[in-house]
Amino acid sequence: MIVVACFNRVLTVFGFWQGRTPKQRSAAAETNQSQDGSVSFGPVVQTSKNTVDLRGKRVSEASYELQMAIDACRPYQVLFVVHGMGTGAVKDCAIDVLRNHPRVAKFEDESPLNYGCTVAYIQ
């Protein structure tokens, strides 16, 4: 990722994707706090570094791996939890871990059409 700031605008280049934002907006993103006082999280883009794949694991293994992934996250990061759609045991375990972990601010399904992935917002 390349970030270039000039002429009161910020150009961000990530692979083939380019985006321009006003400089004031990017300064608020650096502090993770917007002008109204609410906290903003990183971009909600799934990569290999912010994804934990629990498919095919036993419930105890999935619980341990998810807790380790949450603890390894930086503050105000988004974590994608891929649990699959099988019997639902791993998903129930993942939801229970996310609900009870102190660093998880909130979590939600990735999309209404994909029930096999949950997005967690880590504080």
Higher-confidence position of 44 and 79: 79
| β-sheet with 2-6: strand ranges across | 2-6, 9-14, 17-22
What is the model's pTM? 0.68
62: left (phi over 0), alpha (psi -120 to 50) or beta: alpha
Is the pLDDT at 10 greater than 90? The verdict is no
pLDDT value, residue 45: 84
Chain centre distance of CA 102: 16
Residues 12-22 have pLDDT tens digits of 655 565 555 55
Position 115 confidence tier, pLDDT thresholds 50, 70, 90: confident
> Max Cα separation, the chain?
54
Is the pLDDT at 80 greater than 60? The verdict is yes
Position 11 confidence tier, pLDDT thresholds 50, 70, 90: low
Residues 28-73 have pLDDT tens digits of 444 455 555 566 776 678 888 999 999 999 999 999 999 999 999 9
Residues 81-109 have pLDDT tens digits of 999 988 999 999 999 999 999 999 999 98
Question: Would you say 85 and 115 are in contact if contact means Cβ atoms under 8 Å apart?
Answer: yes
